[in-house]
Amino acid sequence: MRFELTKDFLEELRLEIKKQNSEWITEKVLGLHFADIAEIIDELNNDQAKYIYYLLDEDQQADVLMELEEEVRDRFLKSLSSKEIADQLENLDSDDAADILGELSDKEIQEVISHMEDDDAAEDIVDLLNYDEDTAGGLMQKEFIQANLDWPVDRCLVELRRQAEDVEQVYTIYVVDRLNKLVGFLSLKSLLFAQPKSKISDLYSHKNIISVKTTDSSEEVARVMDKYDLVTVPVVDFQNKLVGRITIDDIVDIIKEEADKDFQIASGISEKVEANASIWRSSRSRLPWLLIGMFGGILGAQVISSFEGGISEIPALAFFIPLITAMGGNVGVQSSAIVVQYLAKGSQFTNIFKRVSKEAMLGLLNASICSSIIFGIAALFENTTLAIVVSVSLFVVIVFAAIIGTLIPLILNKYKIDPALATGPFVTTLNDVIGLFIYFSVGMLLYNM
C-alpha cells in the first residue's frame, strides 16, 4: 500500500521526463504522497526536478519543498528567481518560510520579501527571522488557533473556521484573555460536544498549562515536549502573551540531530557535519581530535623512551604495547559511553560515588577475565615473567581505565561541558598514556626483582 522507490522506477521516470511525457508523470507521480514525491526528486538532477515540481499544484509544491533533503532544496532554490521564491514562500507555514529565508543573504531576503503579495504572511516571516534558530522562537510557527476566554462556543466556531484555513493541522485551541495572555487550552473534542451557548471559560482547561518561552533553547523545548508527552506546545513571550506554537515533527528532528551530534562528538568529530560537507570543512571538524591523539602519542613515546633501557634489554616488552593501549582505550570508552547516556537521560541527582564504584567493580570483573586469558596465551608463546608482567599490568590498566572513563564525563558534566566529549579521543588518549606508564613500571619492577 505504501510507495516503495526502486531503481527501475527512477530509470523509467528519467526517460519519461526526457520525453516530456507529462501524462505519464501525472498518472504515476502526482498522485503520490508529498513525502514520496520529495524522495523521488531527491534522486533527480535540477532540470528533472524542476520539470516535476512545476507539474505539482501549489499546496503540493510547498509540502514537497519542505520534505526535500537540505542540499537538494538549497540547490533547487538557488536556481529560482526572487519572485519565484516569494511565490513558493506564500504557500509555506511561517516557520518553514523563515527557515528557507534564513539561508539567504540580507539583500536576497529583502528582495524576496518585497515580491511577496500577502503582507500578513510577510510580516509573520520577518518577525520570525528575529529569533535565534536554536530557540523556541526560531522553531515556532505563527499558524495556530486561539480562542478568547469570554467567547461563546458558536462565536468560537465562526472565528475558528476563519483561522483554521491557514492552519493545516489543528490539535489544540489555545485560550487567551483580553490581553492575549495564554490562560489555558481547549481540545477540539470538547468543542465538538459543547452546547453552542456555553462559554469557552466554562469549557477550557487551565490546570498545568505547559508552555515554552521564545528564548528557551531547542533542547529545552524537546525535553519539555518529551516529558509532558505533547504534540504541540504554545510559545509565549516574557509577558506570557501567546506568540506561536511548535509541533512535534520539528522536535523529532531535533532529537535526531542531538543524537547524531553526540555520536559524532564521541567519534572524534567536533562540529555537526553532513556526510556530503566539503573536504575542507570535514577536515576542520576532525583535525582537532587527531591532534589530541597525536599529542597523546607523543606523550606515549616519552613514557616509553624513559624506559628505553628496559626495551633494549627485553625487546619482548614492546610486543604487548598495542594490547595495553587498545584495552585501556576500549574499557574507557565503554565506561564513559554508559555514563554519558545516563547523564543525557537527565537524572539530576547523580550519586558520583555509587556510579564510580559500580564501574570499578565491573572493571575488576572484566580485568580478572581478560588478564587470566592473556596470562595463558603469553605464557604459551613467551616466557612466564613476561606473561606475569602483561597480565598484572593489563589488570591494573583495565580497572584504572574504567574509573577514568567514568570520572571524566561526570567531571565535564559538573562544569557544564558536554560529557559526550569524553567518549572518544579524549579518554582513549589519556588511557593510552596512563596504560603505558603502568605497563612499563610493572615490567621494570618484576624484571628487576
- Footprint (CB under 8 A) of a second copy, residues 173-232: 187-189, 191-193, 207-211, 224, 226-229, 231
In the structure grid, which three cell numbers stand for residue 23, read together? 501524462
Q: What is the helix (H) or strand (E) element at residue 412, kind and residue range?
A: helix 384-414
Taking the complex as a whole, the smallest distance from the CB of residue 254 to a second copy amounts, in Å, to 11
d(CA 134, CA 272): 14
Among 425, 437, 442, 443, binds a second copy (CB under 8 A): 425
DSSP per position, 327-340: HHHHHHHHHHHHHH
Question: In this structure, is the dihedral angle defined by the CA atoms of residues 361, 362, 363 and 364, taken in order, positive or negative?
Answer: positive
Region of 80-88, 89-97, 109-117, 426-434 interacting with a second copy (CB under 8 A): 426-434
Taking the complex as a whole, the smallest distance from the CB of residue 313 to a second copy amounts, in Å, to 9
Which segments of 91-187 does DSSP mark as H helices, in order?
Answer: 94-102, 106-115, 119-128, 136-139, 153-164
Binding mask 113-152 for a second copy (x = CB under 8 A): ----------------------------------------
d(CA 24, CA 202): 55
Binding mask 5-44 for a second copy (x = CB under 8 A): x-x-----------------------xxx-x---x---x-
d(CA 411, CA 399): 18
d(CA 164, CA 186): 15
Residue closer to a second copy, measured from CB, 82 or 172: 172
Binding mask 325-354 for a second copy (x = CB under 8 A): xxx-xxx-xx-xxxxxxx-----xx-----
Residue closer to a second copy, measured from CB, 48 or 126: 48
d(CA 407, CA 207): 42
Among 73, 142, 245, 286, binds a second copy (CB under 8 A): 286
Region of 17-25, 85-93, 126-134, 321-329 interacting with a second copy (CB under 8 A): 321-329
Neighbouring residues of 406: CB distance < 8 A, sequence distance ≥ 6? 335, 336, 339, 355, 356, 359, 360
**Residue 217, phi then psi, degrees to nearest 5:** -70, 160
Taking the complex as a whole, the smallest distance from the CB of residue 84 to a second copy amounts, in Å, to 25
Among 15, 301, 411, 417, binds a second copy (CB under 8 A): 301
Q: Does residue 318 touch a second copy according to CB under 8 A?
A: yes
Q: Which residue has the cell 602483561?
A: 390
Q: Does residue 238 touch a second copy according to CB under 8 A?
A: no
CB 36 within 8 A of CB 5: yes
Interhelix angle 7-18/46-53, nearest 10 degrees: 80
d(CA 256, CA 265): 14
C-alpha distances (whole Å) from 264 to each of 7, 125, 282, 283, 346 are: 31, 33, 12, 14, 20
Residue closer to a second copy, measured from CB, 210 or 445: 210
Binding mask 75-114 for a second copy (x = CB under 8 A): ----------------------------------------
Residue closer to a second copy, measured from CB, 54 or 263: 263
Taking the complex as a whole, the smallest distance from the CB of residue 276 to a second copy amounts, in Å, to 8
Among 15, 287, 411, 417, binds a second copy (CB under 8 A): 287
d(CA 311, CA 307): 7
Binding mask 360-379 for a second copy (x = CB under 8 A): -xx--xx--xx--xx--x--
Taking the complex as a whole, the smallest distance from the CB of residue 243 to a second copy amounts, in Å, to 15
